[in-house]
Amino acid sequence: MVKGLIFDVDETLVYYEGYDHRKWFEELVKPELERAGIFIDYETYRKTVTGELPRTYVKNLGIDPVEMWKIIDGVNHRYRKEMLRLGKVKPFPDVDALAELRKLGLKLGAVSNATEENTRLVLGAFGLDRYFEVVIGKDYSNLDGVKPNPYLVEKALKALNLKPEEAIMVGDSIHDVLAGKRAGLRTVNVTRFGKVEGADYYVENLWELVELVRELLSKRSPKV
């Protein structure tokens, strides 16, 4: 029985116009890190974001990972505020489907590898925060617990008082699918940017997700 859904946020519910990961790092993040005496190249940073390296890997370079990520997250906060001011952060047109999911009596949680503060900033800008009972972000006490690690998803389950078999993870990336699977959840891949391997279900948008959930609630066999 489905009782709740756990959503990824960035690229699942909202998107950023003109965002270039390398440019963001080189122009905004790297100077701030260097002012704090932290020197790291883009490829090493990129690999810690993609999961090719753990986020605490920088310990091997003599860098305090918590200090580093707090600086990065501060840059991210200022960047998000500026992008919101410029109107370059936008919700996908189907986010109204969240209201329909709540009408079905489902508990909703949001889980992001960004900080809770940065996640709430974006959700709140569009009034999406009202749909979520819990918003879980990066935990500095367990930096390596970001998706695809199941840690944050498991925190959301506990906060929602749900068992793994009662919840579904919804996201756009392989990290979302892996984190959901490793936490024991069924997973839905929203294929805005193409399919990723391993999800239980695929939908093109959130209105298709509503239909999928209705089918699951009615105990009919959904189309995969």
What pLDDT, in 10s, does the model give residues 42-76? 999 999 999 999 999 999 999 999 999 999 999 99
Average pLDDT over residues 147-165: 98
Name the band, by pLDDT with cuts 50, 70 and 90, for residue 220.
low
Average pLDDT over residues 212-224: 76
Q: Return the pLDDT at 80.
A: 97
Q: How many CB atoms lie within 10 A of CB 158?
A: 11
User: Is the CB of residue 146 less than 8 Å from the CB of residue 137?
Assistant: no
The structure tokens listed for 198 are 């391993």
* Residue with the two structure tokens 């979520």: 132
Tell me whether strands 167-171 and 14-16 are parallel, antiparallel or unpaired: unpaired
Tell me whether strands 89-91 and 14-16 are parallel, antiparallel or unpaired: antiparallel
Q: Return the pLDDT at 221.
A: 47
pLDDT in tens, 25-44: 999 999 999 999 999 999 99
